[in-house]
Amino acid sequence: MKGTDTMPLFFLTPDNCEFAKRAMRARLPMVKSAHLTEALAAALDFRTHAALLAAVKLSDPRRPVLVQADPARLSGRLQQLGYESVDSSGLVEIVRSPDMPVNAWREFRNGDRAANDRWYRECQRRDIPNVYIRLRTKYAELSWDCISIDPSGEDHVREDRGSALVEVMFKQYQALAKGDPTKSEFFGSAFIGSIERLSPPVAREIADDFFMRLYMPMVQRAAA
């Protein structure tokens, strides 16, 4: 059973689920459609596809539920259904695809100003932190900026709460970048910042972690 430790972020929306199913069918044509939908539900930490559909239905379109997609759970469920040695690592690429209807963050080539501007406008429209990766020749730069969110939702990235949050973010960066061959540098605060000279895989892991930390307090506030 092949897989990966990476667990990318996934917004529970009807369009995202449909996109993931189509992409998985293309990659795993030997798996029956019904089995594939059950395996996707397992990857998103639901016991059944029916439970996933119920959660999607209840998810607020303005603040959709954010979960992690686990390739190991996907391949484990397929193994239970009789499929041996399924390579589930493609799930990570599917979830992080720029074609995924609702992303947590985006990556684009350094200098692609049009892509940068489009993503910023989308973040403003969705009222989410602007987290993105710029890909350079050898390295990647991860940036985050909370200017895209409504000022009423900024409490967790300002003053004392912001100071506490950036300490956590810095420690997570150190943990996730440990062993990365690049000599990266962390700049900024919880509100705005960047990490230069990361390897692309590590930049993606940190992007998931930072987006979750910047976004979830907004969800909790909205639910209070």
Per-residue pLDDT of the chain (224 residues; tens, 9 = 90+): 333 478 999 999 999 999 999 999 999 999 999 999 999 999 999 999 999 999 999 988 889 999 999 999 999 999 999 998 888 889 999 999 999 999 999 999 999 999 999 999 999 999 999 999 999 999 999 999 999 999 999 999 999 999 999 999 999 999 999 999 889 999 999 999 999 999 999 999 999 999 999 999 999 887 77
DSSP letters for 148-217: GS-GGG-GGGSHHHHHHHHHHHHHHHHHHHTT-SS--EEEE-SSEEEEEEE-HHHHHHHHHHHHHHHHHH
Q: What domains, with CATH codes, occur in the chain?
A: 9-95 (no CATH), 106-223 (3.10.310)
- 3-state helix, strand and coil shares in percent for the chain, rounded to the nearest 5: 50, 15, 35
β-partners of residue 134 are 108, 141
Q: Tell me the one-letter amino acid at 145.
A: D
According to DSSP, residue 147 is labeled G
Picking from 77, 119, 80, 83, the residue whose alpha carbon sits closest to that of residue 98 is 119
- Distance, CA of 59 to CA of 17 (rounded, Å): 12
> The tokens of 52 are what?
């996933």
What dihedral do alpha carbons 214, 205, 120, 19 form, nearest 10°? -110
Kindly state the tokens that stand for 55.
Answer: 């959660």
